[in-house]
């Protein structure tokens, strides 16, 4: 059911100092020109916290919309340049979200980041950890899952990316309006993760910890058998990130006490 590739563990740095062992996880920034404060917060995060970390995982929906790597998308150029600069000192990994699933190899090369499959499983300390964006876990939203299947199909993507940018923009706008209207009618619970899907996915992947975003409901949830589900927060209005340092997770989010 779930495809995944084991991720090679980042190679420990020679003579690494404790400050360099930190691993950071973020998602759901939804960067967009209509929210310049989030872009500023992210640029600041890159220059400070992320620069001191060994690895930064971006688990999807970094961008509110991504129409293809050929889009000059000037509003993102500062962020892309800053990320590229960051990549010289911090390893960068990116997993697609439901907004930026068209991020491709061209962008990965420009920024010097590695694209990850959803889900990706790897060993962190003594724990097996799965990373996901989180939309796959919202299995009660059948309409969305069907839509996801369609737009993740390589043939659909090839056709879409072959269209002129203005046409892609128009399609994206129409899809956003449609999903916005539909969301008003969907019950809150439908748009959250399905607990059985979480349990089954963790069992299938054989992991102790699941880290995901998408729902914008940050928190660390203890599960049976000492397992944990960690949900990342969005960046509206405050930055939000998960840190792994010296074997411990800390979720830094103003909504989590």
Query: The tokens 């980041």 sit on which residue?
Result: 113
Count of Cβ atoms closer than 10 Å to residue 23 Cβ? 20
Q: Whole-number minimum distance, CB 233 to Mn ion, in Å?
A: 12
**Site for Mn ion (CB under 5 A): which residue of 68, 97, 119, 233?**
97
Task: Name which of 22 and 61 has its Cβ closer to Mn ion.
Answer: 61
> Of 55-63, 162-170, 171-179, 249-257, which part binds Mn ion (CB under 5 A)?
55-63
Q: Which stretch binds Mn ion (CB under 5 A): 57-65, 182-190, 217-225, 249-257?
A: 57-65
Q: Which of 61, 118, 141, 253 binds Mn ion (CB under 5 A)?
A: 61
> How many Å apart are CA 58 and CA 24, to the nearest integer?
9
**Nearest distance, CB of residue 61 and Mn ion, angstroms:** 4
Give 97 or 233: the residue with its C-beta nearer to Mn ion.
97
> Nearest 5°: phi and psi at 17?
-100, 160
- How far apart (Å, rounded) are the C-alpha atoms in residues 249 and 246? 9
Instruction: Candidates 168, 214, 216, 227: give the one binding Mn ion (CB under 5 A).
Output: 214
Distance of alpha carbon 229 from its chain centroid, rounded?
Answer: 15
Q: Are 42 and 79 in contact (CB under 8 A)?
A: yes
Two structure tokens written together for 86: 């960051």
User: Can you tell me which of 39, 41, 90, 98 binds Mn ion, judged by CB under 5 A?
Assistant: 98
Give the strand order in the sheet containing 120-124.
120-124, 127-132, 209-212, 227-231, 219-223
Minimum CB separation of residue 14 from Mn ion in Å reads 37
Residue 125 φ then ψ, to 5°: 60, -125
Could you say whether residue 233 binds Mn ion (CB under 5 A)? no
**Minimum CB–partner distance for residue 182 and Mn ion (Å):** 15
Residues that bind Mn ion (CB under 5 A): 61, 97-98, 214
């Amino acid at each position: 059911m779930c495809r995944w590739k084991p991720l090679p563990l980042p190679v420990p740095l020679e003579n690494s100092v404790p400050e360099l062992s930190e691993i950071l996880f973020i998602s759901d920034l939804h960067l967009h020109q209509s929210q310049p404060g989030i872009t500023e917060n992210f640029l600041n995060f890159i220059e400070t916290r992320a620069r001191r970390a060994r690895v930064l995982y971006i688990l999807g929906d970094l961008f509110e919309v991504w129409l293809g790597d050929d889009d000059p998308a000037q509003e993102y150029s500062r962020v892309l340049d800053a990320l590229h600069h960051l990549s010289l000192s911090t390893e960068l990994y990116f997993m697609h979200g439901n907004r930026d699933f068209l991020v491709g190899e061209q962008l990965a090369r420009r920024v010097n980041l590695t694209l990850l499959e959803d889900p990706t499983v790897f060993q962190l300390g003594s724990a097996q950890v799965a990373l996901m964006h989180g939309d796959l876990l919202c299995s009660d939203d059948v309409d969305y899952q069907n839509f996801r299947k369609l737009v993740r199909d390589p043939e659909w993507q090839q056709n879409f990316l072959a269209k002129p940018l203005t046409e892609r923009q128009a399609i994206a706008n129409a899809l956003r309006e449609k999903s916005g209207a539909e969301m008003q009618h969907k019950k809150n619970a439908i748009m959250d993760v399905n607990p059985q899907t979480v349990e089954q996915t963790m069992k299938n992947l054989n992991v102790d910890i699941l880290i995901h975003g998408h729902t914008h409901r940050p928190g660390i949830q203890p599960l049976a058998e000492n397992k944990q589900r960690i949900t990342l927060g969005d960046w509206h209005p405050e930055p939000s990130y998960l840190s792994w340092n010296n074997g411990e997770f800390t979720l830094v989010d103003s909504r989590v006490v």
